[in-house]
């Protein structure tokens, strides 16, 4: 096996761009997603383009049992992961005083708890490596609320807390922790919006930033990366 990376929610959008960047640089990647056919297509694409392996696992990451099962799946591969990307997430717009209760519960389970359980499963094994890196894909909404961000912003602020706590706990190890906070990135979350593509960043921009942080010397940790479209937030 080549070096191993793990990406939750890696079959499309930002996650897929990250998977491609890791594969381009020689990583095999364990990926979870909800749809088996989408994961199979990703596996074929990566093998054709880069010759590296995708280890796919169907999971609804909002379910504790399924994200923990994905962690077990990864641990049963040949080697502990060098890179963990907690990317899985869902966006449901709404105002706190108006949105259904389920918005908060769903987004906390998907955006926060999946990262919490997967980190608990995999980071202990990563601590034995000479260098390893945890990336948490947060959002601009994790440092700044905006209209109709509602429970999404709550979940992403909590994601920032997870990253800061992990960083503090792992300072004496070889595991670096980086929170990435993208602004408007052209993914399915923006489907139907009447704006030109040029107004958005691409998933590839986020993947390039991640790789740049990983490529620093072991003496340096880039704790937080904020990315916005050049014209600013939408």
Report CA dihedral (55, 122, 151, 197) to the nearest 10 degrees: -40
Q: CA 85 to CA 9: how far, in whole Å?
A: 9
Provide the CA 39 distance to its chain's centre, in angstroms.
16
- List 55, 116, 117, 152, catalytic entry: 152
Task: Name 4's bridge partners.
Answer: 28
Q: CA 230 to CA 227: how far, in whole Å?
A: 9
Exposed/middle/buried for 227, CB within 10 Å: 0-12, 13-18, 19+?
middle
Phi, psi (rounded to 5 degrees) for 139: -170, 160
Contact, 134 vs 84, CB < 8 A?
yes
Contact, 62 vs 9, CB < 8 A?
no
Q: CA 130 to CA 176: how far, in whole Å?
A: 11
Catalytic, 152? Answer: yes
> Which residues belong to the active site?
152
């Amino acid at each position: 096996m080549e070096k191993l990376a793990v990406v939750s929610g890696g079959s499309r959008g930002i996650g897929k761009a990250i998977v491609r960047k890791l594969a381009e640089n020689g990583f095999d990647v364990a990926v979870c997603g909800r749809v088996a056919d989408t994961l199979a297509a990703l596996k074929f694409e990566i093998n054709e383009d880069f010759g590296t392996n995708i280890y796919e696992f169907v999971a609804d990451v909002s379910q504790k049992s399924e994200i923990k099962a994905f962690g077990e799946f990864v641990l049963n591969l040949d080697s502990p992961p060098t890179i963990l990307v907690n990317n899985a997430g869902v966006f449901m717009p709404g105002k706190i005083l108006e949105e259904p209760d389920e918005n908060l519960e769903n987004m906390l389970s998907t955006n926060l708890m999946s990262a919490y359980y997967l980190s608990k499963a995999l980071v202990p094994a990563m601590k034995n490596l000479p260098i390893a890196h945890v990336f948490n894909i947060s959002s601009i909404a994790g440092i700044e609320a905006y209209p109709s961000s509602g429970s999404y912003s709550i979940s992403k602020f909590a994601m920032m807390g997870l990253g800061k706590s992990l960083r503090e706990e792992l300072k004496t190890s070889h595991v670096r922790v980086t929170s990435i906070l993208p602004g408007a990135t052209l993914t399915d979350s923006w489907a139907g919006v009447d704006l030109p593509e040029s107004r958005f960043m691409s998933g590839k921009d986020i993947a390039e930033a991640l790789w740049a942080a990983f490529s620093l010397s072991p003496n340096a940790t880039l704790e937080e990366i904020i990315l916005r479209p050049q014209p600013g937030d939408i």
